[in-house]
Each structure stands twice: as structure tokens, then as C-alpha cells.
Amino acid sequence: VAPGHTLARRAAQVAEGAGRPAAAEQPPAMSWSYSLSPDWQFRLKTAAVALATYLVLAEAKQFLDDRRMARLIRERKELERRMHLDRRDGWRLEDLKLYDGQDPESPILLAIDGQVFNVWRSRHLYGAGGAYSELAGRDATRMLAKGSLDMSEDDGAPLTEYELEVMRGWKDYFGQRYDDVGALLGAGS
């Protein structure tokens, strides 16, 4: 290209790429990165640490709760095993006396109209110091029929029809709620 030919020189520069503006002259590219103030950076870090701490503590609590529940279930199964009595017919009054609720490590029995029930699940009621501990370890037929916890109040008279109905209601209640462990020998209302 001969000197002085500006148009030809310009065309040659464009062909070589020299016609493009320099990088510094280009407009800035759009960027989606933001610069947060130090105050907001601190807030976000604090929130992230708090969330992470919460998640770690929640997992630790769940782990401890699961272990505690497994221990409680094991203890309950062991208690049920110790309190279980096989069903048998031929319980005697002397047998019932051994299960009067005074020993916290043994079942609690009471008889109603010839049926013997294991009421250990309500130890707080029938065990030592319980509101109905007088019923435990004996034939409670007459006491329940007469609505009395004191044997001295029983006049020994035959039960009335009303008292028999009350006794049958109690027998049904105990049959639904507690383990029937057999029959009492020589039982009669």
C-alpha cells in the first residue's frame, strides 16, 4: 500500500484486525457477581453457622432420643417378661397371697368370680400403697360386688342380684384390661 493512501491503509488495518478497538476501549461486560458489604457478609456467615449448629444439634438430639427409646423398649420388654405368668387352672388362695403387690419385682394377682387376673400393669393402683391394694393377692369377688375395700364390712350374706351384676361388670372390665391367668379352685360368689 503506497503512503498517503489513507483509505487503502484503513482497509488493510481492518483486514488484519487492527480496526477493532483495543480491549481497554471495549465496554465492560455485565457481571452477576455482587460485592456485599462487610456487615452483610458477617450476617450471612453468622446465619450459616447458626443453621449448621442447629442441624448438628438436631441430629445429635435425634440420635440420643433414639438410643433412649431403644433402652426404654428393652426395659419394658424385660419387665413384661418378668411379670408374665403362664395361664393355669387350679390357682389356690394361698397362691394368690404370694402375688399381693408388696414385691415390686413380681406380678400382682387378684381373683373375680373364679377367674384370676394379673394386674401388674396397674401396680400404682394394686401394688403396695395403691388405692386398691386391698384387692391384690386375694379373691376380690365380694369386695368388688359390694363396692367395699374393707373385708370387715362384708356381712357374709349371699350376693344380691344387683351385687352379682356389679361383680360381672368388674369381671368383664378386668377381662378386657388385664391378663387372665386361669381359674381359682373352689371359687364361688
Query: Which of 18 and 145 is assigned the larger pLDDT?
Result: 145
C-alpha distances in Å from residue 103, one per residue of 83, 111, 127, 134, 143: 11, 18, 8, 14, 23
Q: What are phi and psi of 179, to 5 degrees?
A: -75, 125
Read off the pLDDT of residues 105-124 as tens digits, 9 standing for 90 and up: 999 999 999 999 999 999 99
Q: How sure is the predictor about 182, in pLDDT bands with cuts at 50, 70 and 90?
A: very high
166 near 182, Cβ under 8 Å? no
DSSP secondary structure letter of residue 120: G
Residues 104, 70: Cα–Cα separation, whole Å: 23
Full-model pTM? 0.68
180 near 86, Cβ under 8 Å? no
- Does the structure show a pLDDT above 80 at 44? yes
